[in-house]
Structure 1
Amino acid sequence: MSESTKEIPSTEVGDVGLPEDLARSDLYGLIARFFHLAPDQELLDQIATSITNDQEAHDKNAPLAKVWREVVAAAKNNPAKVWQDEFDQNFISVGRPNIILNGSFYIAGHLNEKPLVELRRALGALGLESAEEIAETEDHISALCEVMRYLIAGDDVEVSNLTNQRVFFNDHIRSWYDELCDAIEAIPEMRLYHPVAALTREFLAVEAQGFDMV
């Protein structure tokens, strides 16, 4: 890696109750984690205990809080093995998987198309590159969420700022995340990833609304 580039950091899930920007960063990290690897039991246990009774009463009618409670319930009631099986059956395949997690497919109809080229150009302008151990292309939803996490919480204010967040989100995520969530929700057997898709859709819709107000 050259001095002018930075690797996109790997996900570490923290407290979703932190101040707004850190909470946004945390949710991007969590969504990235769900779509990069099936959650392990440690993560599921962490999610299962993330809501206190006071929080549940306070946030009862908030749309994002509602879908988060559904993710919490899925984490509480299903062990890691069940999550792993669903992940493998739908996101992993020798041929075409049931669900494709790459933006180029939804934007252009095929993998490794022009949207990926444009994304790589945008990442280069931000001084970012994929970590060597990451097998997925940069338009994978996990990688895109990791970029957003960095643009929110990174230390370099020349890169990690609201303007870059808005431009990157609008250019590389906004146009297709709904289709991805639709595809997941259209498979009845994906009962665990249905609430994950609902959380993804609701959170990214909130992000879109917020960026429209900037």
Structure 2
Amino acid sequence: MSEKETAATEVGDVGLPEDLARADLYGLIARFSHLPPDQELLDQIAATANQQDSSDEAPLAKAWMNVVEVTKDHPASAWKEEFDTNFISIGKPNIVLNGSFYMAGHLNERPLVNIRKALEEFGLESADEVTETEDHISSLCEVMRYLIASDDVEVSNLTNQRIFFNEHIRPWYDELCDAIENIPQMHLYHPIAALTREFLAIEGQSFDMI
């Protein structure tokens, strides 16, 4: 996305604490999907351990605590190795992170065209330095983050969030999480997949109530 539209750290104030938390979670999923985490990010997540209520049995809270634990126990080098092994490949990687693959069976198919049309309607466009196509899970999560957190009221609203989520993320995120969890050696990203699944399931349930 262009600097104006998707500089997530520069978006306007979020209206509600719940919206801030949602935007942050989308941003975190995007970050883990785009690049392996650096040690600073891992330390920041691990440092939240003392802020959590260990008695909270809510599925999302438990999924978050599992992420906290795995970030405490493994250095950035281990995350990079797992990321590169499974997400990066000259041919087909172990895990494909693009929606077109899950919705159409191949990359660069109709779902990607539909996403580009939606982004055009929002006034968003890919920045020159972005190498992933717009149907990459990190790109889609950044769009959702923008739709939640932007101060552009014509774009940032629940209607756009619901439509974009239902059309471009909801149909395939479960399959992506399944693919990650089905690789036993990919244990560092298992908690990330579980957190992603739980959070996006809540998002879907919330949008169904609108």
What is the TM-score with the length of structure 2 in the denominator?
A: 0.93
Which structure: greater helix fraction? 2
Asked if structure 1 preserves the Cα contact closer than 8 Å seen for 2:33 and 2:138, the reply is: yes
Runs of 4+ in 1 over 4 A off after TM superposition: none
Q: Deviations over 1:147-183 (max 9, x none)?
A: 0000000010100111100000001000000000000
Q: Per-residue displacement from partner, 1:74-111 (whole Å, max 9, x unpaired)? A: 10000000000000000000111000000000000000
Q: Find 2:131's aligned residue among 135, 139, 162.
A: 135
* Structure 1: gaps spanning 5 or more residues: 13-17
Match of 2:30 among 25, 29, 32: 32
Q: Does 1:56 align with 2:53?
A: yes
Total equivalences in the alignment:
205
Verify the 8 A CA contact 2:63 2:194 in the aligned structure 1.
yes
1:1-214 mapped onto 2 (5 Å cutoff) = 6-9=4-7, 19-52=17-50, 55-57=52-54, 60-214=56-210
Aligned-CA RMSD value: 1.8
| % identical equivalent positions | 72
Deviation sequence 1:162-211 (CA, Å, 0-9, x none): 11000000010000000000000000000000000000000000000000
* Structure 2 counterpart of 1:15: none
Partners of 1:8 and 1:131 within 8 A in 2:
no
Tell me, in whole angstroms, the C-alpha distance in 1 between the residues paired with 2:99 and 2:120: 18
1:132: how far off?
Answer: 1.5
TM-score (norm 1): 0.92
